[in-house]
């Protein structure tokens, strides 16, 4: 809701910029998809790396109370 209100404010103050943003937003979203996929892949790699590093401590029971 707040984004819509900010867009209306931008539309009232500078309508060419608001229309340009409205037209370019889908293109920017499509271009950002590969970067999101790379981010998801790196998140998975770092989670696997963390699990491998933490595994010996978990096996030995270092986290038990």
Looking at residue 49, its pLDDT comes to 96
What token pair was written down for 25?
Answer: 């937003």
* Sign, CA torsion 39/41/45/48: positive
- Using DSSP, state whether 14 is helix, strand or coil: coil
Rounded CA-CA distance 47/41 in Å is 10
Where are the domains positioned within the chain? 2-60
Structure confidence by residue, pLDDT tens digits, 5-62: 998 998 899 989 889 988 999 999 999 999 999 999 999 999 999 999 999 888 888 6
Predicted TM-score of the model (pTM): 0.58
């Amino acid at each position: 809701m707040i984004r819509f209100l900010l867009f209306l404010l931008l539309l009232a103050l500078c309508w060419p910029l608001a229309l340009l943003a409205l037209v370019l937003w889908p293109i920017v979203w499509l271009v950002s998809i590969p970067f999101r996929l790379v981010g998801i892949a790196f998140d998975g790699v770092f989670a696997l790396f963390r699990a491998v590093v933490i595994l010996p401590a978990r096996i030995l029971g270092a986290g038990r109370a």
